[in-house]
């Protein structure tokens, strides 16, 4: 099937609450990216079915949430304060709402999960949409007028909200009203539409791309960090219970955690793949040897790198003498989309110190060379720009 021609853009239903997977908003670059994100260690969901399985493994309350302890504590205090203020009110008074929350950080760390947990703790409804789905002011008006008092509006990829829509959202965030301009020229007039007091929960992987007026309107902003090895062991143990499998032994749990790139979504995906392997090739019980065999079969190494990561690093090493080299040159050599390399491959390699981004381009570090079993080319310290 040709890229981008599998669905006609004229046939899709236009809904303001489309998710970012909507065919209406998907571009060719997104489609290419989708193909490269079908990796076992992708931090984005790889299919709708996976999304549903992940759903069953997600924590339902702040109590069940493992990791991100500072953020959970801040949210718990804010939620309890709202509940305490609400308890002192009678039904005729406006409902209390939580301050607007901005969550930023790499994909797969639980921003959507937290949105569900927060709405459930507040006892209100969650409405999910994304920056690209809110293409026009009218999309935002439709989304805002659907909200009930105290509801949570989750806008994923909020950095992709068009500027014109961003302007609309400011009065809604501050005063729960929207100024809609009707007609043009001499007939132009503005009508004010009220919406219920709500909480905007914005999520982004690119906080640097948010405008400062937007950033300043969030009362609570937090960066989600990669999960620790201990947290991931906890998460995998809990998930194995929910999947009704016999719990892997401690060593096996630890091996799964160390190959999950600090990301619960990856840990849960690896667990399901290992469960299949253990069932088909063994008696279902999981030990370290079985984890190793199952993940080796998938090409996932001890640090959770896959073939694409290793091929990226070895291209820099062998074709460009270790770098520095520009992203476009690597992308052309590998015949891989540069956006995919930047968004999907590089973040984790930077995080574990195998790659440096310098003013002159990308460079493999001595640790990166060592992991590939290659002799380091550069031994002098690298002036990284990150
Ligand atoms: N499953 C996925 N993420 C989780 C988390 N942070 N806590 C508990 N279970 C999870």
What pTM, to 2 d.p., does this model score?
Answer: 0.82
Domain 307-385 has CATH 1.10.10.10: yes
CA of 29 to the centre of ligand 1 (A): 30
Q: Report the atom number in ligand 1 closest to the C-alpha of 238.
A: 9
Asked whether the bond before 324 is cis by omega within 30 degrees of 0, the reply is: yes
Residue 12: pLDDT band (50, 70, 90) is very low
- CATH number attached to the domain at 9-223: 3.40.50.300
Mean pLDDT lowest among 26-30, 41-45, 91-95, 341-345 = 26-30
**Cα atoms in the 13 Å half-sphere on the side-chain side of 106:** 23
Q: Is 238 in the pocket of ligand 1 (CB under 6 A)?
A: yes
pLDDT in tens, 189-198: 888 999 999 9
Could you state, in order of their start, the residue ranges of all structural domains in the chain?
Answer: 9-223, 229-297, 307-385
pLDDT in tens, 197-244: 999 999 998 899 999 999 999 999 999 999 999 999 999 999 999 999
pLDDT at 95: 83
Given CA atoms 160, 161, 166, 172 in this order, what sign does their dihedral have?
negative
Say how far apart CA 250 and CA 365 lie, in whole Å: 32
Q: Is 122 in the pocket of ligand 1 (CB under 6 A)?
A: no
Q: Which residues contact 204 (CB under 8 A, 6 or more apart)?
A: 102, 103, 104, 157, 158, 159, 210
Q: Report the atom number in ligand 1 closest to the C-alpha of 265.
A: 2
Share of the chain above pLDDT 70, in %: 89
Say how far apart CA 99 and CA 224 lie, in whole Å: 18
Which fold would CATH assign to domain 229-297?
A: Helicase, Ruva Protein; domain 3 (1.10.8)
Residue 200, beta-bridge partner list: 153
Q: What is the mean pLDDT of residues 174-195?
A: 88
Q: Is 225 in the pocket of ligand 1 (CB under 6 A)?
A: no
Q: Is 264 in the pocket of ligand 1 (CB under 6 A)?
A: yes
Judged against a pLDDT cut of 90, whether residue 37 lies above it is answered with no
pLDDT at 49: 73
Residue 306 a catalytic site member? no
């Amino acid at each position: 099937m040709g890229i981008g021609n599998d669905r006609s853009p004229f046939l899709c239903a236009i809904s303001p609450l489309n998710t970012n997977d909507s065919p209406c908003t998907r571009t060719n670059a997104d489609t290419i990216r989708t193909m490269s994100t079908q990796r076992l260690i992708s931090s984005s969901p790889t299919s709708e079915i996976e999304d549903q399985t992940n759903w069953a493994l997600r924590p339902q309350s702040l109590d069940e949430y493992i990791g991100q302890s500072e953020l959970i504590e801040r949210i718990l205090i804010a939620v309890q304060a709202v509940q305490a203020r609400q308890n002192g009110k009678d039904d005729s008074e406006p409902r209390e709402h939580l301050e607007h929350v901005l969550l930023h950080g790499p994909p797969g760390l639980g921003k959507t999960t937290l949105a569900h947990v927060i709405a459930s703790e507040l006892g209100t409804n969650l409405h999910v949409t994304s920056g690209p789905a809110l293409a026009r002011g009218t999309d935002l008006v439709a989304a805002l007028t659907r909200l009930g008092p105290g509801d949570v509006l989750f806008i994923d990829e909020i950095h992709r909200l068009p500027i014109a829509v961003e302007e609309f959202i400011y009065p809604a965030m501050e005063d729960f009203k929207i100024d809609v301009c009707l007609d043009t020229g001499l007939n132009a007039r503005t009508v004010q539409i009220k919406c219920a007091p709500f909480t905007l929960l914005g999520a982004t992987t690119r906080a640097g791309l948010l405008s400062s007026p937007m950033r300043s309107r969030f009362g609570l902003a937090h960066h989600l960090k990669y999960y620790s090895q201990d947290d991931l062991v906890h998460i995998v143990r809990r998930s194995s219970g929910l999947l009704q499998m016999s719990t892997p032994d401690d060593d096996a749990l630890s091996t799964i955690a160390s190959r999950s790139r600090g990301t619960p979504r990856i840990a849960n995906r690896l667990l399901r793949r290992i469960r299949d392997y253990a069932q088909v090739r063994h008696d279902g019980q999981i030990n370290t040897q079985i984890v190793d065999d199952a993940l080796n079969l998938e090409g996932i190494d001890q640090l959770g790198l896959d073939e694409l990561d290793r091929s990226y690093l070895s291209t820099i090493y062998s074709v460009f003498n270790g770098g520095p080299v520009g992203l476009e040159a690597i992308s052309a050599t590998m015949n891989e989309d540069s956006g995919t390399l930047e968004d999907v491959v590089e973040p984790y390699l930077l995080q574990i110190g195998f790659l440096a981004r310098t003013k002159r381009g990308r460079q493999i570090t001595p640790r990166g060379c060592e992991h590939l079993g290659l002799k380091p080319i550069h031994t002098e310290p690298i002036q990284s720009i990150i």
